[in-house]
Amino acid sequence: MRLLNLLKIAFKAIILNKTRTLLTMLGIIIGVASVIAMLAIGEGSKESIRTTISAMGSNMITIRPGSDVRGGVRQERSAMETLTLNDYYAIKEQANLLTYITPLVNGGGQVINGSNNWPSTIYGVNPTYLKIKITELQSGSMFTDAEVQSAAKVALIGQTVVDNVFPDGQDPVGQMIRFNNIPFKIIGILEEKGENTFGQDQDDVVIAPYTTVQKRILAIDHLESIIASAISEDDAPEAVTQVSEILRKQHKLTETEEDDFHVRSMEELISTFSSTSEMLTILLVAVASISLLIGGIGIMNIMYVSVKERTKEIGLRMAVGGKGSDILMQFLIEAILISITGGILGVLLGLSSTVFIEKFLNWPTSIALYSIIISFAVCAITGIFFGWYPAKKAAALDPITALRYE
């Protein structure tokens, strides 16, 4: 009965003080919504980087030439010719934590088919490349080890190349193209992968035996890199160490000499990029916290001022027989109703603006449950506390003192 009466009183008061109610709610709504949306952007970009990298093969290991000379002069990577086929054979034979391994050489050039031409990149690899990169074929088939041995002029192309060089929709498999004036027979088409997070078109590629690319296109003996896949993602760090040891032996490096190569697992790449996006998230969290703080101060202000303003009302309510606890309960109910409603609206706004950002701005987002909980809790608690605390002070006065309050 008593609670019902107080609920009625609180409800009436909320309706009476429309402006205050709206302003307080606005503070809460904006605070909650902005935190949710910002953290969703941060989490979303982190997640999308992770999925992109995983799709590239999360147990992939990349070996590149180059040294980590600190303070000294670093040579440009392409100028380094320290990685050779012998290294590849050595790793292939000795490393037992790898499933697949392929040499890799690449070069840019023009793909030509009759009057159509398109600038692209040719990758020279062995047949395991598709396994390492987790890539399927749309049609045709991969070249064989024998074709690698014989440096056959066969190639597979990505969808972007297909679209640009075969615009009239004929089946490219079995057709001839020229890459930098070297004729290649197309034997397969790679599945479509689209852009990765870094904006790279993964379909703008030509794949051919590394022997062919080395001899006919680049005229080199060394390798640009070697890529391999570890038995599993968990084995990747161990495999990196193993490969490093093999290469140090192979390159006859003494204890004091630094590596003249880089071995990297995808995991490292993930953490590199994650830490970048982690920074983005931290930045967003900082901005979000500030907006939460400002929202909180807004709520605090409005609640505090309005309760102060209502000291007279509190005095009157006590004068006609309201107990201190009745008054407190009323203001608490008011504060809870306003804060919770504001919080819920804020969550809804946060979620819908996140969907909006995802749909219309095409930013990857991922809504974090903790952001909802934290922002809601912070705003609700601020609202409730600052609705309750000044009321508690007012209710401790003698009715006449409260009534006289100006």
List the one residue from 318, 372, 378, 380 that touches another protein (CB under 8 A).
Answer: 318
- Closest CB to another protein among residues 161, 302: 302
Cα–Cα distances (Å) from 272 to 60, 71, 143, 225, 230, in that order, read 15, 22, 34, 20, 19
Q: How far is the CB of 9 from another protein (least distance, A)?
A: 6
Q: Total residues at the site for another protein (CB under 8 A)?
A: 26
> β-strand 116-125 against 98-113: which pairing, if any?
antiparallel
- Closest CB to another protein among residues 162, 327: 327
- Closest CB to another protein among residues 74, 323: 323
Q: For residues 113-172, which are near another protein according to CB under 8 A?
A: none
The torsion angles phi and psi of 150, rounded to 5 degrees, stand at -90, 5
Six-digit token string for 220: 């080199």
* Interaction mask 323-342, another protein, x per CB under 8 A: xxxx----------------
**220 DSSP assignment:** -
Dihedral of CA atoms 68, 70, 71, 77 in degrees, nearest 10, equals 10
List the one residue from 87, 204, 313, 334 that touches another protein (CB under 8 A).
Answer: 313
**225 DSSP assignment:** E
| Cα–Cα distance measured from residue 112 to residue 205, given in angstroms and rounded to the nearest whole number | 13
Q: How far is the CB of 51 from another protein (least distance, A)?
A: 56
392 binds another protein per the rule CB under 8 A: no
- Closest CB to another protein among residues 19, 362: 19
CB of 82 closer than 8 Å to CB of 71: no
Residues 6+ apart with CB under 8 A from 137: 130, 156, 188, 189, 190, 191
276 binds another protein per the rule CB under 8 A: no
Cα–Cα distances (Å) from 254 to 42, 73, 80, 248, in that order, read 45, 20, 19, 8
- Closest CB to another protein among residues 110, 401: 401
Phi-psi region for residue 18, left (φ > 0), alpha (ψ -120 to 50) or beta?
A: alpha
373 binds another protein per the rule CB under 8 A: no
- Closest CB to another protein among residues 169, 321: 321
Angle at 60 between CA 47 and CA 265, to 5 degrees: 80
**Residue indicated by tokens 């490292």:** 268
List the one residue from 90, 316, 349, 381 that touches another protein (CB under 8 A).
Answer: 316
Q: How far is the CB of 315 from another protein (least distance, A)?
A: 8
Q: How far is the CB of 1 from another protein (least distance, A)?
A: 5
Q: How far is the CB of 312 from another protein (least distance, A)?
A: 8
* Interaction mask 4-43, another protein, x per CB under 8 A: -x--xx--x---x---------------------------
Helix (H) or strand (E) holding 89: helix 85-94
Rg of the chain over all Cα atoms, to the nearest angstrom: 33
List the one residue from 1, 219, 361, 369 that touches another protein (CB under 8 A).
Answer: 1
Return the range that interacts with another protein (CB under 8 A); candidates 259-267, 287-295, 315-323, 375-383. Answer: 315-323
309 binds another protein per the rule CB under 8 A: no
Return the range that interacts with another protein (CB under 8 A); candidates 93-101, 185-193, 283-291, 307-315. Answer: 307-315
| Cα–Cα distance measured from residue 135 to residue 158, given in angstroms and rounded to the nearest whole number | 11
Site residues, another protein (CB under 8 A): 1-2, 5, 8-9, 12, 16, 312-313, 315-326, 398-401, 403
